[in-house]
Amino acid sequence: METLKLAIQKSGRLSEKSLELISECDIRLTQGKRKLISASNDFPLQILYLRDDDIPQYVADGVADIGIVGENEVMEKAKNVSMVRKLGFARCRMSLAIPQDEVYESVQWFNGKRIATSYPHILKDYLQDKNIRAQIEQISGSVEIAPSVGLADSIFDIVSSGSTLVGNRLKEVELVCKSEAVIISSQSLSKEKEKILDDLLFRIDTVLRSKGNKYILLNAPNDKIKEITNILPGMKSPTVMPLFQEGWSSMHFVVSEKDFWNVVDQLKEYGAEGILVIPIEKMIF
Ligand code: PRT
Ligand code: ZN
C-alpha cells in the first residue's frame, strides 16, 4: 500500500492551519521524533515538515507528492505543479508600496526606480506587463526597511493588515495579486496515489464546505413558516416538525455564513423564537 507524502510548512504562518485541516479530516498523526516527518495510522498519509519556499520544488521533484503553500510561493517559483484546491486561509495581497510623502499618480512612478522584494519573478512579470523599466533589488527578509536604509526607493511585498507598511512610513499604491494557502500536487502521481489524493480532497471538501455554513434550529408560528422559507437563500425545503404547543413548529435548516446575519434579522421580524446556531462539522453531498 502506497503512502501519499504531504509537505507542510515546518513553522510559520501556514503551519498551524495546515495541521488543523488534517485533523479536521479526522486524520490523526503520530509525531515524528524530531518533527521532520510524521505519519498516520488511520490514513495513508505522511507529513514532511519543510520551509515554505522549498515546498514547490520538492513537489515538482516528486520528493513530496502534494504540498500546502501560499499561492505567492507557487507563482514565484513557477514550478511544474498543479494547484488542486484553494484553502481559504493565510489570505494576503502582494503590493507595491512607496514612502508616504511621495506624490503618486500612476504606476509610471516606478519607471527608473529601485524596488526591493523577495519575489523578483512575480514583480518582473508585472513590470513587463505594465511596460515599466525598474531595477529589482532581491533581498530575502525585512523588505519593508529597504527604503529607509537607502537600499531601494520602494518595495514589493506581502501585505495583510497593512500595519507593517504604516510602521515603516510606507503606503500601498498598487495591488499586484492576491494569495491564499493552496494545495499543490505533483503532475506525475501513480494511480494509487491519485486515489489517495481523491479521498483526501473529498474529506477536505466536506470540511471546507461546512466551515462556510451554520445549522439553525428555531421555533416559528405555523402561519409564518412559508415566509421564513422564502427568505432562506437557496433552500428548497427546510425540515419542519410540530411542537407540543399548538400553532408552533420547529424549523431546521442550513444557512451560509455570508447570509447569516441578514437571515437572523429577518427571522426575528417573523416572530421566530429560541434560535439556535450550531457549527457544522462535516457536509457530505
Ligand atoms: O521559514 P519559512 O520560510 O517556512 O517561512 P516564511 O517566514 O517565509 O513565511 P511566513 O510563515 O511568514 O509566511 C508563510 C506564508 O503566509 C506566506 O508565503 C504567505 O502566503 C502567507 N501570509 C499571509 C503572509 C502574510 N499573510 C503576511 N502578513 N506572509 C507574510 N506576511 C508578512 C509580510 O511579509 C510583511 O512583512 O507580514 C508582514 C505584513 O503584514 P501586515 O499585517 O503588517 O500587513
Ligand atoms: Zn519562506
- Cα of 16 from ligand 1 centre, angstroms: 14
Residue 78's CATH number: 3.40.190.10
Q: Which of 159, 179, 199 is the last residue of a domain?
A: 179
Total structural domains within the chain: 3
Whether 96 and 164 share a structural domain: yes
Same domain, yes or no, for 261 and 275?
yes
Residue 132 near ligand 1, beta carbon < 6 Å:
no
Q: What is the distance between the alpha carbons of residues 59 and 5, in angstroms, rounded to a whole number?
A: 9
Distance 6 CA to ligand 1 centre (A): 21
Query: Cα separations (Å) of 38 from 10, 89, 178, 190, 219?
Result: 12, 23, 31, 21, 47
Residues in a beta bridge with 220: 249
Asked whether residue 136 is domain-assigned, the answer is yes
The answer to whether the CB of 93 is under 6 A from ligand 1 is no
Domain carrying residue 241: 213-279
pLDDT for 34 equals 62
Ligand 1 touching residue 237 (CB < 6 A): no
Give the CA angle between residues 222, 226, 228 to the nearest 5°.
Answer: 90
Residues 83 and 223 in one domain: no
Q: Is 65 in the pocket of ligand 1 (CB under 6 A)?
A: no
Quick check: is 284 in a domain? no
Alpha carbon of 38 to ligand 2 centroid (Å): 21
Cell numbers of 148, please? 529607509
Point out the domain boundary residue: 189, 210, 231: 210
Same domain for 16 and 129, yes or no, is no
- Whether the CB of 95 sits within 6 Å of ligand 1: no
Same domain, 69 and 192: yes
- What is the CATH classification number for the domain harbouring 257? 3.30.70.120
Dihedral angle over CA of 128, 130, 134, 136, nearest 10: -60
- Dihedral, 93, 98, 103, 107 alpha carbons, nearest 10: -60
C-alpha torsion angle, residues 150, 154, 156, 157 (rounded to 10): 60
Within a domain: 27: yes
Whether ligand 1 lies within 6 angstroms of the CB of 170 is answered as no
DSSP one-letter string for 7-62? EEESSSTTHHHHHHHHHHTT--EEPPTTSSEEEESSSSEEEEEE-GGGHHHHHHHT
Residue 197: what residue type?
Answer: L
Q: How far is the CA of 95 from the centre of ligand 2 (A)?
A: 17
Tell me: do 76 and 102 sit in the same domain: no
pLDDT in tens, the chain (285 residues): 899 999 999 999 999 999 999 999 999 998 765 678 999 999 999 999 999 999 999 999 999 999 999 999 999 998 899 999 999 999 999 999 999 999 999 999 999 999 999 999 999 999 999 999 999 999 999 999 999 999 999 999 999 999 999 999 999 999 999 999 999 999 999 999 999 999 999 999 999 999 889 999 999 999 999 999 998 876 668 899 999 999 999 999 999 988 889 899 999 999 999 999 999 998 887
Q: Is the C-beta atom of 212 inside 6 A of ligand 1?
A: no
3-state class of 174 per DSSP?
strand
Q: How far apart are CA 261 and CA 43, in angstroms?
A: 38
* Residues 57, 75 within the same domain: yes
Pairing of strands 37-40, 45-50: antiparallel
Q: Residue 168: CB within 6 Å of ligand 1?
A: no
Residues in contact with 139: Cβ distance below 8 Å, sequence separation at least 6, in sequence order: 116, 117, 118, 146, 151
136 and 192 in a single domain? The answer is: no
* Residues pairing with 242 in the sheet: 249
Does residue 53 line the site of ligand 1, with CB under 6 A? Answer: yes
Residue 198 maps to a domain: yes
> Do 204 and 217 share a structural domain?
no
- Nearest ligand atom owner, CA of 97: 1
The preferred substitution site among 91, 92, 118, 170 for testing ligand 1, maximizing ligand atoms within 8 Å of CB, is 92
Q: Give the residue from 156, 188, 210 where a domain finishes.
A: 210
Residue 166 within any structural domain of the chain: yes
The answer to whether residues 174 and 184 belong to one domain is no
Is 285 part of any domain?
A: no
Q: Are residues 83 and 106 part of one domain?
A: no
Distance (angstroms) between ligand 2 centre and the Cα of 86 equals 19
Q: What CA–CA distances, in Å, run from 37 to 34, 104, 254?
A: 8, 49, 39
In a domain, 171, yes or no: yes
Query: For the packed helices 191-211 and 15-24, what is the interaxial angle rounded to 10 degrees?
Result: 100
Q: Are residues 35 and 158 in the same domain?
A: no
Residue 41 in any domain: the answer is yes
